[in-house]
Amino acid sequence: MPDVHLDDSVLAALQDVMEEEYPVLLDTYLLDSEERLRLLRESQRLGDMQALRLTAHSFKGSCSNMGAPLLASLCKELEEVARLEQAQDAPIWIERIEREFAIVRILFKSERQRYP
């Protein structure tokens, strides 16, 4: 499952639970994720491994909850890099996260277009 960009079964469950609020959830996730990416880049730029670890951890959780397993897995790797204070490796993982989020963003926007 880690190679899956979006888990359709998770999206279906979210849609069932959220009902008419599902599109709002999609919009919120995308906005929130943009902010988390900004915080990842900022933490890395400042060399703040604690902030980087916490942001990666939080982003991992939201990605997992929203059915983006590959993105969650990448965030988990970055979280570990930050925990071990391997600052030199952080830009590589942030770039991977940004590339995967670009794909996830497109897929979520496509999903969002199904709703008025």
Q: Mean pLDDT for each consecutive 10-residue tract of the chain (116 residues)?
A: 85 96 97 98 98 98 98 98 97 98 97 91
pLDDT, position 21 = 97
Given this model, what pLDDT does residue 52 score?
98
Residue 70 burial (10 A CB sphere; 0-12, 13-18, 19+): buried
Domain boundaries, the chain: 8-112
pLDDT at 116: 81
So what's the pLDDT on residue 1? 46
- What's the topology of domain 8-112? Four Helix Bundle (Hemerythrin (Met), subunit A) (1.20.120)
What is the pLDDT at residue 63? 98
Residue 3: its pLDDT value, please? 79
Q: Which of 101, 114, 116, 100 is nearest to 11 (CA)?
A: 114
